[in-house]
Amino acid sequence: LAIVMHFYIIYQFIIKIMDKDRNSTFGKSPTTFPHFDAMDGDFLIGAIFPLHYTKHGDWFWSLCRFDPRAFRWSQALRFAVEEINYNQHLLPSIKLGYKIFDSCAYPLTGQRAALAVLNGPSEVYSSICSGSSPLLAVVGESGSAQSIIVSRVLQPFRIPMISYFSSCACFSDRREFPTFFRVIPNDDYQVKAIAQLLQHFGWTWVGVLNGDHAYGRFALQGLRKELVNTTVCIAYHVMIPLLYKREKALEILDVMRHSSARVVVAFSAEGELTPFLKEYMDQNITGIQWIASEAWVTASLFSGSQFYPYLGGTIGFGIRQGPVSGLREYLLTVNPLRYPNNPLVQELWGALYGCSLNPPSSISQNVTQLPACTGEEPIREQHSAYLNTSSFRVTYNVYKAVYAIAHSLHNLLSCELGKGPFQNSSCADTTNIYPWQVRTVKQYLQEVSFTISGETVNFDEKGDAIPSYDLINWQRGVAGNIEFVKVGMFDGSKDAGKELFIQDEAIMWTGHQREVPVSLCSDSCAAGNRKAFRRGEPLCCFDCVPCDSGKISNETDSVDCTPCPEDYWSNTARTECIPKAVEFLTHDAMGLTLTVISVVGACLTAAILLVFIRHRNTPIVRVNNSELSFFILLSLILCFLCALLFIGEPTVWSCMLRHTAFSITFSLCISCILGKTLVVLAAFTATRPGNNIMKWLGPKQQRVIIFACTLVQVLICSVWLIAAPPFPFKNTQYSRSKIILECSVGSDWAFWSVLGYIGLLACLCFVLAFLARKLPGNFNEAKYITFSMLIFCAVWLAFIPAYVSSPGKFTVAVEIFAILASSFGLLLCLFAPKCYIILLKPQKNTKEHYRVSAKVTGNSVKIQTSSVSTTHVLCDRCVVLLKSKLWPSGE
């Protein structure tokens, strides 16, 4: 029983399938398959149209839907044939016939249609075997996938085919498709146009959707190739499967929703897009800017008002429209009463009015019962799927294709004697043309050229048409429906870069917006930044990094920052190169402070000098060689003043003067101090009476010593100035952002020997003063000199590392500082105590105070000043001491 039950279930199942098949396009008996329409003639034109398309889901199990748009194309073919038959100039006295087959918009059924074109729908109609009229050429197919198969079927018979809608770039291979022609531009041009469109609107991050067929795959490949070396990147590309599956659609929609690419290019056709877009709308996804390929940009299927919120604003390149005068009226004449036997017309009525002309009882019960129609219903403008009033695009292509065939046949028949394509250049016998002779139609087609309403129709060597597209934008019509508005065009015959013309202001974008949507992976980088590409991500995704200092980028989205030329530097925004700041010590805060200090120093010295001059006769001034003191004060004034030479822009002269003046004045100053120390020391070191060392240190000799010491420095400086004088120098090395104007010393050796010489004098002075520091005397300067030299040496020793390491104008500042500090050190150490006594303690500044009494008792002598009292064993030195000029004479 179980087995019987099983068989029964299987039997029921098969019956069900067969029942379904009987109602479907595919399941009709051989005599009625595929839907066809035919007219006899001397020559036949085959035609294949996708008069039905499969409903979403499994094509085999479901019903085919009638496509009024394709029906219109078939009517255009009939119209063209009838027009040619009527035409007295084109193929006079020859009647063209046609046979139209349905491909069901599917490759497999397309193949059946191709075979049917060759053989006729049944044995009864078999054209080749029955010797009926020769088949000239085939107009077809629509989708590239079907056309490939149709072309392969027709190829062995060398029957040319002219496609009105197959734009796949794959057909350009003449070896593979030798008999293929088309009146639609190659997709290579379309992808070029789309790539230009993407760049025009700055969409650099786009998604691509393509159907799973030759058209979709080749278009994606072409677009990718076109986008290489452009700023546009493909964020994702997904394939809509041929057989619609909801899960897959949801997956795709998920990708779309989560990507930041707002622009999506779809190489697909209305058949497979319908269920997908339905799901898209169900998911309520908005904000996607669709870029439609030519296959669906003018699909009236989506022109209903319910699509506008989701698909409004769609833009894409449509096939160029053309006028077919009289076709509109012709289409209006089609009605079931006029063509009672044409099942397609009946189906048209069903599709347009939702009614059936056949009583429902005559067909299977499974068919949905439609209300009966009279057949007299008028075709109205609203039936846009059939009567697309605004323009004919694919329809116009069909029309052109028929004319191309007719013109070729015309040329074949009007073959000039002796110039024909057959053996010995003979022509075909016009009264008895064989089907095989018709094969040469291909040759004629290749060369055909004619004009339809101002447009020249011909084919290039690849069988392609001249590339030209209209840019179409989906805008809202008065009734809320979608209207296809032309907003620009692409003319492939123009020079590169000039092909695209867009009326930007006329475009309405997605979401009923006037602003161009943005589709970027990363926001563009402002000037002053450069793109830093992210590892492993497309070039359109990047971070913006500010340019390094010294480099600029003056335009947005620059990949690299350009380094500034020499002597120029980047501004803070890194947008332009500005001349480098030239830095030198000038009258800024630091320069001014130093100037003030040096002037104050000079004035102070001058004041002390004045005080000394005024009190030149007081003991304290006289006690220690006053002439030398005046010299020291004068040279100190010069020292203070020569600090001023270091301030201001270095020039050739100031550079030469700076170091030399400073070194000579300092040498002078230290020499004077040295002289002074020498005198003190010599006075105490003369050991024997009669030792006339003091004779050698008289005022004259002192001057000579000072002069000699200074002269050495003058000589070093002269050699320096002659051999390698200091010069102004632009130092760009130290800081990259500014030019430091400084004096190059010219010769380091000279510079350091000048300093070294001063150092040598100072050290000598220090050592001598150190030795003399404890010698008696009411006012022994030696300890002050020691101290001053200590300060002097300390300052200059500290100067060396500071000088070497301080940047820019600070080098000069450090040098000035050393000059001022050491000058002040000398000034204060040597003269402050004396000034103190002169000005504040005048009572100490008396002869008595400096009186020295020496009392000799036995062989010892007691020396007494106002502050010190010492007893010495009498010796020669005491005699010398008493004679010395260190004390006011006579004391």
Q: Does 143 bind ligand TRP (CB under 6 A)?
A: yes
Residue 106 amino acid letter: Y
Candidates 142, 151, 356, 788; binder of ligand TRP (CB under 6 A) is 142
Residues constituting the chain: 891
CB-wise, 271 or 467, nearer to ligand TRP? 271
Residues 571-630 contacting ligand TRP, CB under 6 A: none
CB-wise, 213 or 844, nearer to ligand TRP? 213
Q: How far is the CB of 33 from ligand TRP (least distance, A)?
A: 21
C-beta separation of 484 from 390 below 8 A: yes
Q: How far is the CB of 282 from ligand TRP (least distance, A)?
A: 23
CB-wise, 154 or 661, nearer to ligand TRP? 154
Q: Does 269 bind ligand TRP (CB under 6 A)?
A: yes
Q: What is the CA radius of gyration of the chain?
A: 55
Chain centroid offset of residue 427 CA? 64
Q: What mask, x for binding ligand TRP by CB under 6 A, covers residues 377 to 416?
A: ----------------------------------------
CB-wise, 104 or 762, nearer to ligand TRP? 104
Alpha carbon distance 215, 145 (integer Å): 7
Alpha carbon distance 84, 406 (integer Å): 8
Residue 338 amino acid letter: R
449: its two tokens: 């050229």
| Other beta carbons within 10 Å of 257 | 12
Candidates 72, 99, 213, 615; binder of ligand TRP (CB under 6 A) is 213
Q: How far is the CB of 289 from ligand TRP (least distance, A)?
A: 21
CB-wise, 240 or 795, nearer to ligand TRP? 240
Q: Does 320 bind ligand TRP (CB under 6 A)?
A: no
Q: Does 73 bind ligand TRP (CB under 6 A)?
A: no
Alpha carbon distance 374, 355 (integer Å): 9
Taking Cα atoms as reference points, which of 49, 52, 53 lies closest to residue 98?
49
322-337 CB burial, b ≥16 within 10 A, e <16: bebeebeebbeebbbe
Candidates 166, 179, 522, 845; binder of ligand TRP (CB under 6 A) is 166
Q: What mask, x for binding ligand TRP by CB under 6 A, covers residues 542 to 571?
A: ------------------------------
Determine the 3-state secondary structure of 873 from DSSP: strand
Q: Which range of residues in 166-174, 308-316, 703-711, 719-727 is near ligand TRP by CB under 6 A? A: 166-174
Q: Which range of residues in 209-217, 274-282, 411-419, 832-840 is near ligand TRP by CB under 6 A? A: 209-217
Q: Which range of residues in 124-132, 141-149, 382-390, 562-570 is near ligand TRP by CB under 6 A? A: 141-149
CB-wise, 49 or 631, nearer to ligand TRP? 49
CB-wise, 320 or 407, nearer to ligand TRP? 320
Residue 736 amino acid letter: R
The DSSP-derived string for 172-236 is G-TTT-TTEEESS--HHHHHHHHHHHHHHTT--EEEEEEESSHHHHHHHHHHHHHHTTSS-EEEE
Q: How far is the CB of 105 from ligand TRP (least distance, A)?
A: 6
CB-wise, 268 or 625, nearer to ligand TRP? 268
Candidates 215, 353, 392, 799; binder of ligand TRP (CB under 6 A) is 215
CA 650-652-657 angle, 5° bins: 80
Q: Torsion angle of alpha carbons 113, 119, 123, 126, nearest 10°?
A: 130
Residues 96-125 contacting ligand TRP, CB under 6 A: 105
Query: Secondary structure of the chain: what % helix, strand, coil (to 5)?
Result: 45, 15, 35
Q: Which range of residues in 140-148, 523-531, 589-597, 710-718 is near ligand TRP by CB under 6 A? A: 140-148
Q: How far is the CB of 388 from ligand TRP (least distance, A)?
A: 15
- Kind plus residue range of the DSSP H or E element containing 85: helix 68-86
Q: Which range of residues in 164-172, 227-235, 414-422, 585-593 is near ligand TRP by CB under 6 A? A: 164-172
Q: Which range of residues in 28-36, 148-156, 159-167, 787-795 is near ligand TRP by CB under 6 A? A: 159-167
Residue 469 amino acid letter: Y
704: its two tokens: 């000579």
Q: How far is the CB of 171 from ligand TRP (least distance, A)?
A: 9
Q: Does 295 bind ligand TRP (CB under 6 A)?
A: yes
CB-wise, 145 or 647, nearer to ligand TRP? 145
Q: How far is the CB of 196 from ligand TRP (least distance, A)?
A: 19
CA dist 200 → 234, 250, 470 (Å): 16, 31, 16
Q: Which range of residues in 109-117, 142-150, 605-613, 763-771 is near ligand TRP by CB under 6 A? A: 142-150
C-beta separation of 448 from 404 below 8 A: yes
CB-wise, 143 or 435, nearer to ligand TRP? 143
Candidates 26, 165, 180, 189; binder of ligand TRP (CB under 6 A) is 165
Residue 76 amino acid letter: A
Q: How far is the CB of 474 from ligand TRP (least distance, A)?
A: 18
The DSSP-derived string for 719-755 is HHHHHS--EEEEE-SS-SSEEEEEEE-S-HHHHHHHH
Q: How far is the CB of 187 from ligand TRP (least distance, A)?
A: 7
Candidates 109, 167, 635, 702; binder of ligand TRP (CB under 6 A) is 167
CA dist 637 → 432, 666, 759 (Å): 130, 10, 20
Q: How far is the CB of 411 from ligand TRP (least distance, A)?
A: 28
Q: What mask, x for binding ligand TRP by CB under 6 A, covers residues 809 to 838?
A: ------------------------------
Q: How far is the CB of 168 from ligand TRP (least distance, A)?
A: 5
Number of residues that bind ligand TRP (CB under 6 A): 15
Taking Cα atoms as reference points, which of 744, 759, 743, 733 lies closest to residue 818?
759
Q: Torsions phi, psi of 529, nearest 5?
A: -125, 165
Q: How far is the CB of 79 from ligand TRP (least distance, A)?
A: 21
Alpha carbon distance 446, 436 (integer Å): 17
Q: How far is the CB of 69 from ligand TRP (least distance, A)?
A: 10
Chain centroid offset of residue 632 CA? 70
CB-wise, 277 or 821, nearer to ligand TRP? 277
Q: How far is the CB of 267 from ligand TRP (least distance, A)?
A: 8
Q: How far is the CB of 264 from ligand TRP (least distance, A)?
A: 17
Alpha carbon distance 875, 480 (integer Å): 134
Q: How far is the CB of 167 from ligand TRP (least distance, A)?
A: 4
Q: Does 211 bind ligand TRP (CB under 6 A)?
A: yes
Q: How far is the CB of 136 from ligand TRP (least distance, A)?
A: 23
Cis status, amide bond into 576, omega within 30 of 0: no
Listed in sequence order, the residues at least 6 apart from 526 whose beta carbon sits closer than 8 Å to its beta carbon are 544, 556
Q: How far is the CB of 240 from ligand TRP (least distance, A)?
A: 10
Determine the 3-state secondary structure of 499 from DSSP: coil
Secondary structure E strands in 665-821 = 727-731, 738-744
| Other beta carbons within 10 Å of 595 | 19
Helices (H), 87-141: 107-119, 127-130
CB-wise, 271 or 336, nearer to ligand TRP? 271
- Kind plus residue range of the DSSP H or E element containing 855: strand 853-857
Alpha carbon distance 74, 87 (integer Å): 20
Residues found near ligand TRP in the complex (CB under 6 A): 105, 142-144, 165-168, 211, 213, 215, 269, 271, 294-295
